[in-house]
Each structure stands twice: as C-alpha cells, then as structure tokens.
C-alpha cells in the first residue's frame, strides 16, 4: 500500500517552550505512520571543532531545541 502525505500539527498539553510541533513530513497508511524531521546543522562543524563547552550558549540552546523536537515525535 502506498503512503499518503498529510499535513500534521501536534499540540502537546505542556506549558513548556515547545508549544506546537510541526514535523517536516508525515506519511500515513492505514496501519503505519512515519514522521520525518529533517535538520540541517550548519554549526555542527563548529561544535565538533571547538567542543560542546566552547561554543556560544545561543548555539547550544539552538542545538538542544532541535534535538528535543526530533525526539518528541
């Protein structure tokens, strides 16, 4: 059976900073749902070169937010 693309928004009941999750792609079949979240990390090389503790706080927070979004699905 082929997958059907669908727009999806998940609104968790939490009061944290992640009030809505919008995955990049949701594929549905009657028996399966596949959620895809793509992240391009242009700062990954900087984190690798400098090490996690040596990059700016703003960059670490952006990276954490991206990881939390991907894990939330």
3-state secondary structure 31-50: CEEEEECCCCCCCHHHHHHH
Most confident of 7-11, 19-23, 35-39, 58-62: 58-62
| Per-residue pLDDT, 51 | 92
Is residue 68 scored above 70 in pLDDT? yes
State mean pLDDT over 42-52. 87
Q: How confident is the model at residue 45 (pLDDT cuts 50, 70, 90)?
A: confident
Do residues 55 and 46 lie in contact, with contact meaning Cβ atoms separated by under 8 Å?
yes
**pLDDT tens for residues 3-33?**
666 655 555 455 455 566 778 888 988 899 8
Q: Which residue has the tokens 């979240």?
A: 37
């Amino acid at each position: 059976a082929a997958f059907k693309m669908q727009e999806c928004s998940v609104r968790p009941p939490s009061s944290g900073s992640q009030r809505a999750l919008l995955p990049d792609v949701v594929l549905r079949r009657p028996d399966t749902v596949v959620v895809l979240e793509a992240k391009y990390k242009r700062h990954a090389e900087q984190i690798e070169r400098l090490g996690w503790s040596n990059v700016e706080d703003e960059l670490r927070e952006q990276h954490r937010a991206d990881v939390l979004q991907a894990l939330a699905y």
